[in-house]
Amino acid sequence: MTQIKKIFPYFIAVVAAFIAAGIFIAALKFNPFKAYETILTTSFRTPNGFIQTLVKWVPLTLVSLAFTVPLSSGKFNIGAEGQMLVGAIGAAAVGITCANLPAVLLVPMIILAGILAGAFWGLISAWLLYQFNINEILTTVLLNFISFALIDYVATGPWRDPAAGHPTTIAIGENGFLPMLVNQPPLTIGVILAAIAAILVYFYTDKTTSGYELVVTGANPRASKVHGINIRQMFLFSMIIGAGLAGLAGAIEVSGTQHRLIEGLHSNFPTLGLIIGLIARGKNQAVPFVAFFIAVLEVGASAMQRTLLIPVQVVLIMEALILIFILLSDLIRRRQK
Amino acid sequence: MEQSAILQMQGVNKTFDKVVALSNVDFELKSNEILGLLGGNGAGKTTLMNALFGLYKMDSGKIILKGQPVTITSPRDALSKGIGMVHQHFLQINNYTVLENIVLGSKVSHPFSANYKTEEVVIQKLCKQFGLDIDLSSRIETLPMGTRQKVEILKALYRGVDILILDEPTTNLIPQEVDALFQTLKIMVKEGLSIVFITHKLREVLTICDRISVLREGKNVVSLSRKDASDDMLVRAMVGEGMDLNKSVIFSEDKSRSGKTDQKPTLKLNGVNKISAEKTQELTDVTFTVNAGEIFGVAGVAGNGQRELAEVVMGIQPVSSGTVHLEEQDITVVDTKNRIANGFVYIPEDRLSDGFLNKVSVAHNLILGYHHLEPYSKKGIINWKNVKSSSMKMISEYSIKTTGPDEVGGNLSGGNIQRVMIARAFSQPSKLMIAHNPTRGLDIPSMDFVYKKMFESSATGMASLVISEDLDELLLICDRIAVMYRGKIVGILPREKFEKYEIGRLMSGYEQSSEETGKRA
């Protein structure tokens, strides 16, 4: 009963967002009911649609966790974008330079390189915070810009693919491609890696003493400090874990989807990651589910554009509206007290 | 001679988010009397008066002022009807003068200048009339608490009130200032005012009040004139039937503590100095020892370095110089985590900022600081089953009002948050407890329970450092009391030398220099 009570405001917020966006679609002279039918059913009508949804779910879950894990300790990691890109660079670098290693070695190395490179990018902000108390929101955002320059440099530098018209590197070694879970339509074990990551995050924050310290630091840093918790260490730690998760997302994009480094491979995932993290209200265990829902919308949106010629941006509007309505429902609940 | 009622409140109800604060309360104030509104914490005294003063809206109820039914919607409204209130926390501007604070917000004769000559004359007259000796040109921040309170009273008098509500007016006063306040109240009544005196201290109402109304759990219990009142019946009215007074610490006849301290020092501070980042000297040459099994009190007016002392002992803030020893072992540089592991327990003063986690569950709160110990966790993995069952036990033993271990901490009331902190502090065997205002916000039976727990623990050898602004509390439970003034220990008295006025004198820093020479001699 209480569970239903808790979920109810979310349900209302989603319905309200659909109605509001529906008015918008109707104003554009399209049929909102047909649009919603396409958006909501594409993922479940065909195996292809479902697998596409899972493929989107992988990076969405990981970049959202990159935001929510630091948020558990009260820190805002807005740099999942940069961390994902640097993770992708690390993965591509290993995949290209060690192209001839056997797959048993190369795949884990690529994944690990991605995680470490992403974590390193987060470590810069975390260390500035730890050592000099520099605001992490600022440093993570600014490091995003540096990462754009970095990926430009790598994709147009020594590993450039001369045949491509867009800044792109040559492909990584074939042994470095993520193994397939389903061949047609293609689904790699990336989905398993993301699921494992989400479960580990849940286990860590909910079941371990270190995770407990992370959560209480986020709840009240001063009281945590008074009771012997090294809160600055928790800040540092959570930022690095978050960044490592974003790096993993980058590595999976490189070795699972693109097989090379492409400028812009982060797509709109990091932005959606923030939205997902906020809709989940920073709850790590809710992130995979919210991410799945958003993945359904995203896949449905491209189908809607293909078949009904409704611009895909409509879905972005809807996602933003869901977030706004959920925040509103918070406000209303607080007022009622 | 029966006086007429100047003010009546009838059938007042007020609920806060399902919590019933007042239920069908009646209240009557007669003219020219001091009415004691007595009750423990959470009894609803302040809520009732805040409703009268227009700070809260009553759910239902009537106010009849001088025979006329009135509605009061705001403090300004209340003041215009002649009702003034002095809160526990003064609303004053620190770097303004007394005069400026008094006229602030009232109509002045020269509204576009800082010329308050006319007002000054009026206020001077009021001072003389009520025997309030205040220099109107001194700045608020330079004044002791007792004088600041006089300013607050003067503020109300200047606005022409004839009913004055005083909310726990003796909280931050030393005994000498309390006496002076009582003198003032008597003069005010003689000059035609009617006064409501909110307090939880029995002795005060018996000293000063003409009539006494007792509230408990938001309900009227009894109203009677002082000459009909006795200690016993007021105590019973305040605490209810459930409490066994003979076994209580607060009301027992035998005020002696067994005091079986075996002179084995648990905590030793030697020449501790603490200078803040802003270069202010917060602690100066603090030296004392707390023995095993001893309850060592620290008295002082709030803000004289007590908080810094607690945090230095807990290792939350570093010392600038000096040493801290635990059982002969130098722990000056040991961090908080390791002090807790070595048997330190802390009940911080500011529970909301330093002690409690609003956003997570009650269970999370109950294990904070001990989460890495068995049975709560093993090898870094938390055993939530054990945590839950221990939490259930603590919730029932300490009568914490909550729906269960999973309830979000933020839903708890102030008194219950304090109970969580107490439960947490006593949940572990410890060598040293640092308790800063440990009973703030607790009702009388809960206070008594805390004292009993402390006595039990001290009987097993736990040393306690109790820092409190409530001098009566310290006099009741401590073996020795140290007095702090401006970051210094200005005197340490053993139990047989406890004397309220002597401690009050030390607290206010009078003759501090001669005291120091005396100590040295």
pLDDT at B519 over 50: no
* Rounded mean pLDDT, B437-459: 88
What band does B360 get if pLDDT is binned at 50, 70 and 90?
very high
If you average pLDDT over every residue of chain B, what do you get? 88
pLDDT, one tens digit per residue, over B255-302 is: 566 555 567 899 999 999 999 888 889 999 999 999 999 999 999 988
pLDDT at B329 over 80: yes
Cα–Cα dist A27/A35, whole Å: 13
Q: What number does CATH give the domain A47-299? A: 1.10.3470
Q: What per-residue confidence (pLDDT) applies to B255?
A: 58
Superfamily of domain B5-241: P-loop containing nucleotide triphosphate hydrolases (3.40.50.300)
Q: What per-residue confidence (pLDDT) applies to B513?
A: 45
Question: Which chain A residue shows the shortest CA-CA distance from B346?
Answer: A227
Which of B17, B357, B367 is closest, CB to CB, to A220? B357
pLDDT at B362 over 80: yes
CATH 3.40.50.300 is held by the domain B254-343+429-521: yes
Q: What is the residue whose two structure tokens read 């703030």?
A: B440
Q: What per-residue confidence (pLDDT) applies to B253?
A: 63
SS3 assignment, position A171 = coil
Residues from chain A contacting residue B377 (CB–CB below 8 Å): 209, 212
Q: Which of A3, A220, A233 to mutate to test the interface with B (most CBs of B within 10 A)?
A: A220
Residues from chain B contacting residue A230 (CB–CB below 8 Å): 335, 337
Q: What per-residue confidence (pLDDT) applies to B444?
A: 84
Q: What per-residue confidence (pLDDT) applies to A75?
A: 95
- The ranges assigned to domains in chain B are 5-241, 254-343+429-521, 358-428
Q: How far apart are the first and last CA of chain B?
A: 59
> Are B316 and A207 inside 8 Å of each other by CB?
no
Residues from chain B contacting residue A224 (CB–CB below 8 Å): 357, 368
SS3 assignment, position B385 = helix
Are A80 and A66 within 8 A, CB to CB? yes
> Are B356 and A230 inside 8 Å of each other by CB?
no
Are A60 and A276 within 8 A, CB to CB? yes
> Are A223 and B355 inside 8 Å of each other by CB?
yes
Q: What per-residue confidence (pLDDT) applies to B435?
A: 95
Q: What is the residue whose two structure tokens read 């792109």?
A: A168
Q: Residue window 353-392, chain B: list those with CB within 8 Å of chain A.
A: 353-360, 364, 367-369, 371-372, 377, 380-382, 384
pLDDT, one tens digit per residue, over B180-194 is: 999 999 999 998 999
Residues from chain B contacting residue A205 (CB–CB below 8 Å): none
> Are A216 and B348 inside 8 Å of each other by CB?
no
B216 backbone dihedrals φ, ψ, rounded to 5°: -145, 130
Q: How far apart are the first and last CA of chain A?
A: 20
Give Cβ neighbours of residue A108 (< 8 Å, ≥ 6 apart): none
pLDDT at B437 over 60: yes
Residues from chain B contacting residue A225 (CB–CB below 8 Å): 316, 336
> Are B368 and A227 inside 8 Å of each other by CB?
yes
> Are A225 and B316 inside 8 Å of each other by CB?
yes
Residues from chain A contacting residue B385 (CB–CB below 8 Å): none
Q: What per-residue confidence (pLDDT) applies to B518?
A: 41
What band does B239 get if pLDDT is binned at 50, 70 and 90?
confident
Q: What per-residue confidence (pLDDT) applies to B52?
A: 93
Q: What per-residue confidence (pLDDT) applies to B303?
A: 83
SS3 assignment, position B41 = coil
Are A240 and A247 within 8 A, CB to CB? no
pLDDT, one tens digit per residue, over B467-499 is: 998 898 999 999 999 999 989 999 999 988 888
- The ranges assigned to domains in chain A are 47-299
pLDDT, one tens digit per residue, over B101-148 is: 998 888 877 778 778 888 899 999 999 888 888 899 999 988 888 888
The kind and range of the H/E element at B485 are strand B480-485
In the numeric block, which tokens belong to residue A15? 């319905």
Q: Which of B18, B346, B368 to mutate to test the interface with A (most CBs of A within 10 A)?
A: B368
> Are A220 and B339 inside 8 Å of each other by CB?
no
Q: What per-residue confidence (pLDDT) applies to A335?
A: 66
As beta bridge partners, residue B8 has B28, B64
Residues from chain B contacting residue A228 (CB–CB below 8 Å): 335-341, 369
Q: What per-residue confidence (pLDDT) applies to A95?
A: 94
Q: What per-residue confidence (pLDDT) applies to B257?
A: 63
Would you give per-residue pLDDT tens digits along chain A (337 residues)?
Answer: 466 777 788 888 889 988 998 998 899 888 889 888 888 898 999 899 999 999 999 999 999 999 999 999 999 999 999 999 999 999 999 999 999 999 999 999 999 999 999 999 999 999 999 999 999 999 999 999 999 999 999 988 888 888 888 889 999 989 999 999 988 888 999 999 999 999 999 999 999 999 999 999 999 999 999 999 999 999 999 999 999 999 999 999 999 999 999 988 888 899 899 999 998 989 999 999 999 999 999 999 888 888 888 888 888 888 888 889 888 887 777 765 4
